[in-house]
C-alpha cells in the first residue's frame, strides 16, 4: 500500500491537530487490539474535521452510516448543539457492542443512538431531514447509501463520504472496489443535484451538498 501523503507529513498533521483527550486515545488503542481492521479507525485528523463541520453547521440530526468503534460518532457528538442528536448505523454486533460500551462511558451518551441492522433499512426508518450524513461503511453499499441520504437531506445539509481515494487506487483502478469508488467520484462531480468537493485528507474525504 502506497502512501498518498508522506508518512512524516501525515504524522506532522496529526501532531498539529488538537488531541481529543485520554479517553478517546484509550478508545483508539482498545479498538486497534480488540477489533479487526485497525485502518478503519477515523483517527484524530478526520475526527476533528468531522467535529468542526458539526460545530459550524449546528445540526439537529446527524446520521452516520457505519459505526465501527464509535470514534467518529463520539467526535461529532462532542460538537452537537443543545437538543442535537446523532444516530449511527451498524450491522456488526461486535462493533456495535464495542461502540456502545464507549458511548455509555462518555459524556455524550444521551446524544448518541446506535441502530443495529442493515443500513438501508435503518435509513428508511429514520425521519428526515438529515442535517449531516457521514458515510463510512461497506464500499459496495456507497451508491445506495448516497441516494438514501440525499433523498432525506436538508436543503442546507451535507453528506461526508470517507475513503474516496482508495489509497490512490481511483487513479488507475484495478479492483472492483477501486472502480466502484472511481465511478462514484465521477458521478458526484457530474450530478446536477449536488456540488462535490474532494479533499485529500487521509484516504480521501468528499463533501457533497445540494445545489
Whether residue 166 is contained in a domain is answered as yes
Per-residue pLDDT, 41: 82
Q: What is the mean pLDDT of residues 191-206?
A: 95
Q: Say what the alpha-carbon torsion angle 91, 115, 32, 39 is, to the nearest 10 degrees.
A: 60
The answer to whether residue 184 sits within a structural domain is: yes
pLDDT tens for 62-100 read 999 999 999 999 999 999 999 999 999 999 999 999 999
Residue 103 forms part of a structural domain: yes
2 in any annotated domain: no
User: Which has the closest alpha carbon to 87: 126, 29, 40?
Assistant: 126
Hey, is 2 helix, strand or coil?
Answer: coil
- The pLDDT score that the predictor gives to residue 1 is 42
Mean pLDDT (whole number) for 12-25:
91
> Collapsing DSSP states into helix, strand and coil, what is residue 158?
strand
Could you tell me if residue 42 is inside a domain?
A: yes
Residue 81 falls within a domain, yes or no? yes
**CATH code of the domain in which 179 resides:** 3.40.50.150
* pLDDT classification of 112: cutoffs 50, 70, 90: very high
Beta bridge pairs of residue 61:
85
Distance CA 38, CA 50 (A): 19
Residue spans of alpha helices (H) in the chain: 7-15, 22-34, 43-57, 71-77, 93-104, 119-125, 142-151, 176-190
- The answer to the question of residue 49 being in a domain is yes
* 44, 20 Cβ separation under 8 angstroms: yes
Residue 118 lies inside a defined structural domain of this protein: yes
DSSP readout, 42-85?
A: -HHHHHHHHHHHHHHH--SEEEEE--TTSHHHHHHHTTPPTT-E
Q: What are the distances in angstroms from CA 180 to CA 101, 131, 184, 185, 211?
A: 34, 26, 6, 9, 24
Task: Give the number of domains in the chain.
Answer: 1
- Is residue 165 over pLDDT 80? yes
Range of the domain at 136: 7-210
pTM, two decimals, is 0.94
Amino acid at each position: 500500500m502506497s502512501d498518498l501523503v508522506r508518512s512524516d507529513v501525515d504524522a506532522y498533521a496529526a501532531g498539529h491537530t488538537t488531541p481529543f483527550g485520554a479517553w478517546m486515545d484509550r478508545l483508539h488503542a482498545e479498538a486497534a487490539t480488540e477489533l479487526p481492521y485497525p485502518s478503519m479507525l477515523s483517527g484524530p485528523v478526520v475526527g476533528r474535521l468531522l467535529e468542526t463541520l458539526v460545530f459550524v453547521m449546528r445540526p439537529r440530526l446527524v446520521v452516520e452510516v457505519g459505526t465501527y468503534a464509535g470514534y467518529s460518532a463520539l467526535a461529532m457528538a462532542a460538537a452537537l448543539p443543545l437538543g442535537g442528536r446523532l444516530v449511527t448505523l451498524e450491522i456488526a454486533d461486535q462493533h456495535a457492542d464495542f461502540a456502545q460500551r464507549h458511548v455509555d462511558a462518555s459524556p455524550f451518551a444521551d446524544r448518541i443512538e446506535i441502530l443495529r441492522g442493515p443500513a438501508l433499512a435503518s435509513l428508511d426508518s429514520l425521519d428526515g431531514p438529515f442535517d449531516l450524513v457521514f458515510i463510512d461503511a461497506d464500499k459496495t453499499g456507497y451508491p445506495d447509501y448516497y441516494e438514501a441520504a440525499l433523498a432525506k437531506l436538508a436543503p442546507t445539509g451535507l453528506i461526508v463520504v470517507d475513503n474516496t481515494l482508495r489509497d490512490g487506487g481511483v487513479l488507475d483502478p484495478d479492483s472492483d472496489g477501486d472502480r466502484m469508488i472511481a465511478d462514484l467520484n465521477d458521478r458526484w462531480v457530474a450530478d446536477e443535484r449536488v456540488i462535490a468537493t474532494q479533499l485529500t485528507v487521509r484516504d480521501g474525504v468528499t463533501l457533497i451538498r445540494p445545489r
